[in-house]
A = this chain, B = another copy of it.
Amino acid sequence: MMTVSRNKLTKKDITNMSLLSAVLQLGFNYERMQAMGFCFTMAPYFKKIYGDNTEEVAAAMTNNIDFINTEMHMATFLNGLILSLEEAGEDRELIRNIKNGLFGPLAGLGDAIFWFTLLPISAAIAVSLNKQGSILGPIVYMVIHFFGAISRVPLGHLGYNLGTNAIDLIRDNATAITKAAGVLGVMVVGALIPSYVNFSFPETFVIFDVVPVQGIFDTILPNMLPLGFVLFLHYLIKNKNVNAVQLIFGIIVVSIILSFFGIM
Contact = CB atoms under 8 A, between A and B. Distances in A.
Question: What is the copy number of this chain in the assembly?
Answer: 3
Interface string A132-145: 10101000100000
Contact of A219 (B129, B216, B219): B129
A220 interface: yes
Contact of A216 (B125, B136, B216, B220): B136
Interface in A37-91: none
A132 B220 CA distance: 12
A180 to B, nearest CB: 20
Contacts of A136: 216, 219-220
Contacts of A140: 220
* Best-buried of A125, A132, A219 by chain B (most CB within 10 Å): A219
A219 B129 CA distance: 7
A136 B207 CA distance: 13
A140 B125 CA distance: 37
5 contacts: A125-B220, A129-B219, A132-B219, A136-B219, A136-B220
Q: Which 9 A/B pairs are nearest by Cβ-Cβ distance?
A: A129-B219, A136-B216, A134-B219, A136-B219, A132-B219, A140-B220, A125-B220, A136-B220, A129-B220
Given A132-B219, A134-B219, 7 more contacts: A125-B220, A129-B219, A129-B220, A136-B216, A136-B219, A136-B220, A140-B220
